[in-house]
Amino acid sequence: LFLSERAGQGWMLEFIRKNAANGLSVANLVAGLSSILCSLNRQYQYSCWLLLVGFLLDLADGAVARRLNACSALGAKLDDFADFTTFGLATALLLQPQGVLAGLLAVAYVLAVFARLCFFSSGIPFTYRGLPCPYASSLLAGTFLLADGNVIVLRITAGVMILFMLDQGFYPHDKVLESQRWKKVVYAGGVAAVLFLPTAVASVYCLVWAMSYIVFPFAVW
């Protein structure tokens, strides 16, 4: 019985190790789906909050997978699907696509995320080609909250983010939780801001974070 119990505990620990990152990807996917439902019900404040939560989860799942040596093809596919749902479909619905032009902009945004996830490979270790879509989503969510839902400002910002995502310039790999201590502090501050601080403070924090990565990728990050 003792050996059986030890074997069961070992199996459970191994299962947790292999699926911890997948669990974070699923949580990111749930946040994205919930954000879509909020947008469909015109509860855009909650939708933006869920996108910011998804942004933090996405940064964590890769770090956990690499830390636990649990990277797999299934995990990569699940992560990409979660990213497409949260940072593609859910973020595009913030644009409130009513009318032909607004609808085309939302479709273009989703296709930009699709192209960024499926076709852009830098071939250089620790770099991305094109702006990672989680940062574009975080910036749009922060902009929406600070602009009090101004659709014109948001659509202009989305158009600029499409250009950044389709541009093939290089960005540093966002190993926030696996590099310098100050980056870990930034991440911890983001978690605290999103979970405990007022919406305006959290949106400013994530907006400055995303902007610093987009405008000064190598100088800062």
Q: Is residue 21 part of a domain?
A: yes
Residue 221 lies in a domain: no
User: What residues make up the domain containing 159?
Assistant: 1-216
Q: Round to whole Å and give the CA distance between 141 and 161.
A: 12
Residue 106 domain-assigned? yes
Is residue 128 situated within a structural domain? yes
pLDDT greater than 70 at residue 8: no
Structural domains counted in the chain: 1
Torsions phi, psi for 126 (to 5 deg): 65, 25
Q: What is the mean pLDDT of the chain?
A: 89
Q: Is residue 52 part of a domain?
A: yes
Angle between helices 100-118 and 151-166 (to 10 degrees): 30
82, part of any domain: yes
121 band by pLDDT with thresholds 50, 70 and 90 = confident
Q: What is the 3-state secondary structure (H, E, C) of the chain?
A: CHHHHHHHHHHHHHHHHHHHHHHHHHHHHHHHHHHHHHHHCCCHHHHHHHHHHHHHHHHHHHHHHHHCCCCCHHHHHHHHHHHHHHHHHHHHHCCCCCCHHHHHHHHHHHHHHHHHHHCCCCCCCCEEECCCHHHHHHHHHHHHHHCCCCHHHHHHHHHHHHHHHHCCCEEECCCHHHCCHHHHHHHHHHHHHHHHCCHHHHHHHHHHHHHHHHHCHHHHC
Q: Give CA separation, 145 vs 39, 95, 148, 179, in Å.
A: 14, 13, 5, 30
What mean pLDDT is predicted for residues 17-22? 78
In a domain, 67, yes or no: yes
CB 172 within 8 A of CB 166: no
Which tens digit of pLDDT belongs to each residue from 22-60? 889 999 999 999 999 999 999 999 999 999 999 999 999
Question: What is the rounded CA–CA span in Å between residue 139 and residue 146?
Answer: 10
d(CA 119, CA 6): 45
**What gap in Å lies between CA 55 and CA 132, rounded to an integer?**
11
Residue 205 lies in a domain: yes
Residue-wise pLDDT tens digits, 157-196? 999 999 999 998 899 987 888 888 999 999 999 999 999 9
Q: What is the pLDDT of residue 2?
A: 54
Instruction: Give the pLDDT score at 6.
Output: 60
For residue 194, the tally of other CB atoms under 10 A from its CB is 19
pTM over 0.85: yes
